[in-house]
Amino acid sequence: MADKNVFNEVPENLGFYEEAIPVNWEEFKKVAESRRSIRIYKDDPIPENVMRECLRLTTLAPSSSNLQPWEFYWVRSPEKKAKIIEFCLSQPAAKTAQELIVCVARTDTWNRNRKWMVERLKKEPNTPPVAFAYYEKLIFWVNYQGPCSILAPLKWLITSTIGLFKVMPRFPFGKKGLMMWAVKSTALACENLMLSLRAAGFDSCPMEGFDEVKVRKLLELPTDALPMMIISAGKRKPECMYGPQIRFDQKHYVFEV
Ligand SMILES: Cc1cc2nc3c(=O)[nH]c(=O)nc-3n(C[C@H](O)[C@H](O)[C@H](O)COP(=O)(O)O)c2cc1C
């Protein structure tokens, strides 16, 4: 039997329930199967309300400890849009797009968001004390790296040593670890955006072929914010793809263990 800790000490009845509403499996498959990376878009605009709804669905993605380490910059100013296209090396997926969204992973918002979580949880009637312990203590020490990440080696040493004897989550160490932590959650939100666009009858292309430094500067982002992907959006034109969708045999990627 495992020791009691902040992870397993949860009451049997969590006190809240949301109905698993019926959804259409066949329709979802159509959305996932018809999402393709589109390089040439038609001139048809995406209605503003559709973009707003897709962006709302984007941020419904799950995130590590619900700390939502993402930001999405919907580029609306024509001047900024022209710059972003240039920074995307004027690739057709950017140049012909109706909309461009810069997806940013933030390593510096977790503490603000952690405090927001505590405030929100205080308003919920059934928040178990363990949730406060999680956000007020554990999450702080898990993500806090100290000035210039000075604590990272120490945290690694402590975690690795305890990990020799106990089951131990290996938390982010240092700036790189924190970046990886933020990127994981932000990537999930990116996929939500692309699937939402498809479900709304539009298309997208994820791009990492851009000048991250110049994009960061244009959006006035701090150096530890990572513009990790730019998603272009619009309606696909005929002959807008390089070819049929290629995926290697599932046997290389899906393992039953
Ligand atoms: C992280 C990431 C970066 C990508 N960067 C680019 C890019 O800069 N330009 C581009 O045309 N496509 C880009 N793609 C699209 C891929 O080439 C595409 O997803 C892949 O070829 C599979 O095709 P499909 O999306 O149509 O299934 C990127 C995809 C991902 C996930």
| Residue 27 pLDDT grade (very low, low, confident, very high; cuts 50, 70, 90) | very high
42-73: per-residue pLDDT in tens? 999 999 999 999 999 999 999 999 999 999 99
Closest approach atom of ligand 1 to CA 39: 11
Ligand 1: centre distance to CA 126 (Å): 44
Closest approach atom of ligand 1 to CA 92: 11
193 or 5: whose pLDDT is higher? Answer: 193
At residue 195, the pLDDT reads: 98
% the chain with pLDDT above 70: 96
Ligand 1: centre distance to CA 57 (Å): 21
Nearest to 107 by CA among 187, 210, 176: 176
Ligand 1: centre distance to CA 16 (Å): 39
Mutate to test the pocket of ligand 1, among 183, 207, 226 (most ligand atoms within 8 A of CB): 207
b/e map of 62-71 (b: 16 or more CB within 10 Å)? ebbbebbbbb
At residue 245, the pLDDT reads: 96
Ligand 1: centre distance to CA 82 (Å): 21
At residue 6, the pLDDT reads: 67
Closest approach atom of ligand 1 to CA 187: 1
Q: Over 60: is that where the pLDDT of 119 sits?
A: yes
% the chain with pLDDT above 90: 79
At residue 168, the pLDDT reads: 86
At residue 1, the pLDDT reads: 55
At residue 125, the pLDDT reads: 86
At residue 226, the pLDDT reads: 98
Contact criterion met (CB below 8 Å) for 143 and 168: no
Ligand 1: centre distance to CA 231 (Å): 10
Q: What is the mean predicted confidence (pLDDT) over 76-88?
A: 98
Q: Over 70: is that where the pLDDT of 2 sits?
A: no
Closest approach atom of ligand 1 to CA 38: 26
Contact criterion met (CB below 8 Å) for 109 and 228: no
Q: How many CA atoms lie within 13 A of 52 on its CB side?
A: 3
* Separation CA 44–CA 129 (nearest Å): 52
| Domain definitions of the chain by residue range | 37-108+175-249
Q: Over 90: is that where the pLDDT of 94 sits?
A: yes
* Separation CA 197–CA 132 (nearest Å): 36
| Residue 106 pLDDT grade (very low, low, confident, very high; cuts 50, 70, 90) | very high
162-185: per-residue pLDDT in tens? 999 998 888 888 999 999 999 999
Q: Over 70: is that where the pLDDT of 197 sits?
A: yes
Supply the residue whose CA is at minimum distance from atom 10 of ligand 1: 207
Helices (H), the chain: 25-34, 48-58, 78-87, 92-95, 110-123, 129-133, 139-143, 152-163, 174-199, 212-218
Q: What is the mean predicted confidence (pLDDT) over 189-206?
A: 98
At residue 14, the pLDDT reads: 77
Residues within a 6 A CB radius of ligand 1:
36-37, 39, 91, 93, 205-209, 229, 245
Ligand 1: centre distance to CA 43 (Å): 21
Relative orientation angle of helices 174-199 and 25-34, to the nearest 10 degrees = 110
* Range scoring the smallest mean pLDDT among 13-17, 135-139, 207-211, 227-231: 13-17
* Separation CA 141–CA 144 (nearest Å): 5
| DSSP secondary structure letters along 61-104 | S--GGG---EEEEE--SHHHHHHHHHHTTT-HHHHT-SEEEEEE
132-159: per-residue pLDDT in tens? 999 999 999 889 999 988 998 998 999 9
Q: Which fold has domain 37-108+175-249?
A: NADH Oxidase (3.40.109)
Q: Is 25 exposed, middle or buried (0-12, 13-18, 19+ CB in 10 A)?
A: exposed
